[in-house]
Amino acid sequence: MSNDRIYYELSRPEMLAFIPGQVSRTLEFGCAAGKFSALVKEKFHTEAWGVDLDEESIKKAEIVLDKAILGDVFEVIKSLPSSYFDCLICNDFLEHLAYPDDFLEAVKPVLAKNATLVCSLPNVRFWKNIRELLFEKDWRYREAGILDNTHLRFFTKKSMVRLMERHGFAIEEIRGINPSKSLKFYIPNFLTFGTHKDMQFIQYGIRARYNA
């Protein structure tokens, strides 16, 4: 089981702040046990759907979501109602796809007008990654972390924005989450006048509006 899967069994309350104030029908890809969508459902009184490849996770998600679907995302999308969902949730999901661009295009027909995309993505410029690359001359995949061995794509803050905008999703908010508290980051960042502040964050949370 990858670190993403273990981490995402948690409810991810830090991502609730990215959900828009008014939302009625949510669709989450990579929903795992459905804990985050269940939080959204409870707080915003939404109809909540989830999609995942893991059978055991979907069994758990079925208990807390209105609908939980097991299957490949591209196949599942074909069976979803058109122009239905006003909030698409992709927390720690896009980096697992070989072609996230194809996904963002494929999912558009099921989104309602002015739908919101809420997602989190790992930040490959996290300072520990850069330290290892520069000083240890290494790029090691692991069972845990940003270089999880199931990750197929890697993003910086700039490339996250570029990905969204390339497919018609206008960024409303992008903010670093789960910051490092290590002095090994803060001291060099202070000495460089904060020019590498983005390296503090393990992930970025994003809210973007799709203007169909």
**What domains appear along the chain, each with residue ranges and CATH number?**
3-123+151-180+202-210 (3.40.50.150)
Q: Name 117's bridge partners.
A: 88, 208
Q: What's the CA dihedral at 88, 93, 99, 100 to 10 degrees?
A: 40
Tokens representing residue 26 in the block = 């949510």
**Does residue 4 contact residue 21 with C-beta atoms inside 8 Å?**
no
**Has residue 178 got a pLDDT over 70?**
yes
* pLDDT score for 191: 72
For the entire predicted model, the pTM comes to 0.92
Judged by average pLDDT, the poorest of 3-12, 72-81, 165-174, 203-212 is 3-12
Number of DSSP helices (H) and strands (E) in the chain, helices first? 8, 7
Of 156, 97, 91, nearest to 129 by C-alpha is: 156
pLDDT, tens digit, 9 for 90 and up, residues 128-144: 999 999 999 999 999 97
**Does residue 149 contact residue 140 with C-beta atoms inside 8 Å?**
no
pLDDT, tens digit, 9 for 90 and up, residues 66-123: 999 999 999 999 999 999 999 999 999 999 999 999 999 999 999 999 999 999 999 9
